Amino acid sequence: MFDLISFIPRAVAQSIPLLYGCTGETITEKSGNLNLGIPGVMYVGAISGVIGSFLYEQSAGDQMNGFLTIFIPMACCLLGSLLMGLLYCFLTVTMRANQNVTGLAMTTFGVGFGNFFGGSLIKLSGSEVPSIALSATSRAFSRSLPFAANLGWFGKIFLSYGFLAYLAIAIALTASYVLKHTRTGLQLRAVGESPATADAAGISITKYKYFTTCIGCMIAGLGGLYYVMDYACGVWSNDAFGDRGWLAIALVIFTIWRPNVSILASMLFGGLYILYLYIPSGMNLSMKEIYKMFPYLVTIIVLVISSMRNKRENQPPASLGLNYFREDR
Amino acid sequence: MNNTSNTPLIHISKKKELPWYASWGIRLVAILAAIVLCAIVTMVLTGDNPGQVFSTMLYGAFGTRRKRWVLAQETSLLLCVSLALTPAFRMRFWNLGGEGQILAGGLACAACMILLGNKIPNAALIAVMTVASIGAGAVWALIPAICKAKWNTNETLFTLMMNYVATQLVAYFSIIWEVPKGAGQIGIINQSTESGWLPQVGPHKYFLNVLIVLILTVVMAVYMKYSKHGYEVLVVGESENTARYVGISVKKVIIRTLLLSGAICGLAGLLLVGGTHHTITTTVAGGRGFTAVMVAWLAKFNPFAMIASSLLLTFFSQGANEISTVFGLNHSFGDILTGIVLFFIIGSEFFIQYKIHFRKKSAVSESGKEA
């Protein structure tokens, strides 16, 4: 029997990092920046939060302040991702470097940065704990509403998550609203579709690209933080985050650049990611690898179909991946 | 003085094309600056003096005969993938699927070794492996190419997704063919009979790989520079409309070029599986598909310059590995150093292509003329 009540919360927990990454990448791409550094940014966001809270837990000992326990990792995470975003913008917007190359270099750097500090933090800080296990911080992050446990299946499906999960949904809805219904969103889309036109209309291309890419990176970084603090219970292990960053980029295409759709779509991807645990395949472990392929296959199909139908509202932003130089002809 | 407020503080314009020595000089300065920063980072983390750090890196890359061969081998494999991506990039087709194409080639190679090993003569087996690997890599690149040619599907994203489909396929077959049962990995294929292993030629087991890639480099340079195909690729890359106007079939060029690109990635898979590891895992491509993008771009798609850029990146990763071993640090240290070097070189392109004019304090009217 398919156990939906245990399946849904796990699928949702899987989906939250994807949702953060996807929302961040969507608004970035809307400004015409194809940031392939998102996987790296998510690693940096995660490890920055870990470093912050590790040092705090080490120094505070037993007297941990509830507010600081949450605030320090969040602030470190946002700062780390912001720096990555600034680096990307500086190279691609100000220096007009190739976006694909810059993005891939950021991923190499970010993943290396995360794994390096994850693997060497204890040695570098000279402390005497066997592994990075931030259980106190993790408890603060994954605390759900106190009465959720009493509400049976309803509480389990809707209320059993830490606050970062709800924040992800709130951010996605906000992003969707801003993109669709505000002047800022309209101008942002203009920047991504045709920067020359937007420039002629007096919109500052540089400002929009900088702001959206940096905000996008900060949102994506939170996805990494959620993964470590909530999903992985505060335990950092190298490469555990895996290819979720690329999956988030896949999700952007799958949702055809719509953050509100991505809430459900990310849960679908999260479900596909853990589906193999719930399908009775007996001892046949090999099939689970095939199931893990589904999100990517589905994304490819969406990509191809949307290009075949060629409907204007389902296309990538027209200047995606291209830099803008006013004096170019 | 009042009018100067309308002139921006900094004005950027395009440079004329620099002579080659000037542009390579700027890149060299960038690399040197990156090395200085890397040395500072390493010093902060290890507390060692910079001289020691560099001698450790040099030792890690060139220290022993074995290390030199490993360096040559790693460089040539990276170079092989970079060569594969070059024609596609020249056409402005962003093939980020090198990773998947390598895996597809490697998987086909491993399949032949497992299914046909010890059943047909070794020479025939190697011939079959070669054809299968190259074919599989080509098919993996062909799928996005057809979609690009027919419906203008975004190739960057499509090829990227194909990587993970290939990864999962390899993971699937790793379990199907696992040795022993339950290990979840294939292990060395045909260890006792060495059936399907590429033969050792010359002084070292890696010599064959290096030789093949060197020949490929020359062939690719000639292909891009002197053949009609190479010229068509360039025209399509510069302007599809021009290509159409002069009677080049853009679709045909896209598909043909990507077949070539995928085929060489498949060859890299063959060299990795048949010639080096004699097994396949999901990480056998080792990020080369992505690193090669940067190698090719750093070398401005010039096959001979790619020898230098792939050597540079391999040197950094080998050297940083040595540092992390010596100081007991995590091996991802190499990725950080590589990242720093890449950022500097990426940034240096700006100074090759653009000129910066600062606002002049006195001459108001001149700012217009200068642009």
Query: What pLDDT digit, counting tens, does each position of B81-129 carry?
Result: 999 999 999 998 888 999 999 999 999 999 998 888 788 888 889 999 9
Mean pLDDT of A100-116: 90
pLDDT above 80 for B3: no
To the nearest whole angstrom, how far is the Cα of B354 from the nearest Cα of chain A? 9
> What value does the mean pLDDT take over residues B341-369?
74
Q: What average pLDDT does range B319-347 have in this prediction?
A: 84
Q: Is A194 on the interface with B (CB under 8 A)?
A: no
Asked if B176 lies within 8 A of A316 by C-beta distance, the reply is: no
CATH architecture of A4-145+153-314: Orthogonal Bundle (1.10)
Pairing type for strands B354-358 and B10-14 reads antiparallel
Write down the pLDDT at residue B369.
42
Stretch B150-168: mean pLDDT, rounded? 89
Residue predicted with more confidence, A243 or B343: B343
- For residue B10, the cross-strand partners are B358
A184-210: average pLDDT: 92
CB proximity A197 to B under 8 Å? no
pLDDT computed for residue A221 by the predictor: 95
Per-residue burial over B315-342, b if 16 or more Cβ lie within 10 Å, else e, is bbbbbbbbbbeebebbbbbbbbbbbbbb
Give the pLDDT confidence score for residue B84 in this predicted structure: 94
Q: What is the mean pLDDT of residues A292-321?
A: 83
Output the pLDDT for position A3: 73
Q: What is the pLDDT at residue A278?
A: 75
Among chain B residues, the shortest Cα distance to A95 is held by B350
Model confidence pLDDT, tens digit, residues A65-92: 778 888 899 999 999 999 999 999 999 9
Average pLDDT over residues B47-76: 85
Which single residue is written with the structure tokens 């912050």?
A52
Q: Which structure tokens are listed for A171?
A: 């951010």
A155 in contact with chain B, both atoms CB, cutoff 8 A? no
Q: What is the per-residue pLDDT across B239-260, written as a single tens digit (0 to 9) for each?
A: 888 999 988 999 999 999 999 9
Element (H, E) at B10: strand B10-14
Residue type, B191: Q
The predicted model gives A248-260 an average pLDDT of 87
Q: What percent of chain B has pLDDT over 90?
A: 33
- The answer to whether residue A262 scores a pLDDT higher than 80 is yes
The pLDDT score that the predictor gives to residue A102 is 92
Q: Nearest 5°: CA angle at A294, between B181 and A242?
A: 70
CB contact under 8 A, B342 and A108: yes
- Read off the pLDDT of each residue in A150-165 and give the average, rounded to a whole number: 78
In DSSP terms, B356 is beta-bridged to B12
Enumerate the domain spans of chain A: 4-145+153-314
Q: Which of A50-64, A231-245, A268-282 has the lowest mean pLDDT?
A: A268-282
Q: Where does the pLDDT of residue B1 fall: very low under 50, low under 70, confident under 90, or very high at 90 and above?
A: very low
8 Å CB contact between A27 and A175: yes
Supply B50's token pair. Answer: 């910079």
User: Looking at this predicted complex, what is its ipTM?
Assistant: 0.87
Q: How many CB atoms lie within 10 A of CB B302?
A: 16
Please identify among residues 205-264 of chain A the ones whose CB lies closer than 8 Å to any CB of chain B.
238, 243, 246-247, 249-250, 253
Q: Do A120 and B329 count as a contact with CB atoms less than 8 A apart? A: yes
Indicate whether A219 pLDDT > 80. Answer: yes
Q: Is the pLDDT of residue B179 over 80?
A: no
Decide if pLDDT at B149 tops 70.
Answer: yes
CA distance B196 to chain A (A): 25
**Given the structure tokens 């500072």, which residue do they identify?**
B40
Min Cα distance B203 → chain A (Å) is 34
Instruction: Give me the helices (H) in B185-329, please.
Output: 207-226, 228-238, 240-245, 250-272, 288-298, 303-327
- Domain residue ranges of chain B, discontinuous segments joined by +: 76-299
Who has greater pLDDT, B46 or B35? B35
Q: DSSP readout, A110-128?
A: HHHHHHHHHHHHHHHHT--
Q: Looking at the DSSP assignment, which residues form a beta bridge with residue B212?
A: none
pLDDT at A148: 66
Q: Name residues 273-292 of chain A within 8 A of B (Cβ).
A: 285-287, 289-290, 292
Q: What is the mean pLDDT of chain B?
A: 86
Decide if pLDDT at A50 tops 80: yes
How many Å apart are CA A210 and CA A86, to the nearest integer?
7
Closest C-alpha to B342, from B305, B296, B304, B289: B296
**How large is the C-alpha radius of gyration of chain A?**
20
Q: Dihedrals φ, ψ of A284, to 5°? A: -80, 85
Residue range B209-233: mean pLDDT, rounded: 92
- pLDDT of B364 higher than 60: no
Q: Mark yes or no for CB contact B332/A113 under 8 Å.
A: yes
B101-105, B153-157, B189-193: the lowest-pLDDT one: B189-193
Instruction: Tell if the CB–CB gap between B332 and A246 is shorter than 8 Å.
Output: no
Using pLDDT thresholds of 50, 70 and 90, give the confidence band for residue B370.
very low
Q: What is the mean pLDDT of residues A9-35?
A: 92
Q: Using pLDDT thresholds of 50, 70 and 90, give the confidence band for residue B361.
A: low
Enter the tokens of residue A163. Answer: 């606050």
Helix (H) or strand (E) holding A243: none
- Has residue A171 got a pLDDT over 50? yes
User: Which pLDDT band holds residue A45 (cuts at 50, 70, 90)?
Assistant: very high
Quote the DSSP letter at residue A313: G
The four Cα atoms B26, B28, B29, B34 give a dihedral, to 10 degrees, of 130
Please indicate if any CB of chain B lies within 8 Å of the CB of A76.
no
Query: Whole-angstrom Cα distance, residue B173 to residue B110?
Result: 10
Cα separation, A47 vs A106, in Å, equals: 15
What is the per-residue pLDDT across B9-25, written as a single tens digit (0 to 9) for each? 777 888 777 788 888 88
Residue B190 — pLDDT band, cuts 50, 70, 90? Answer: confident
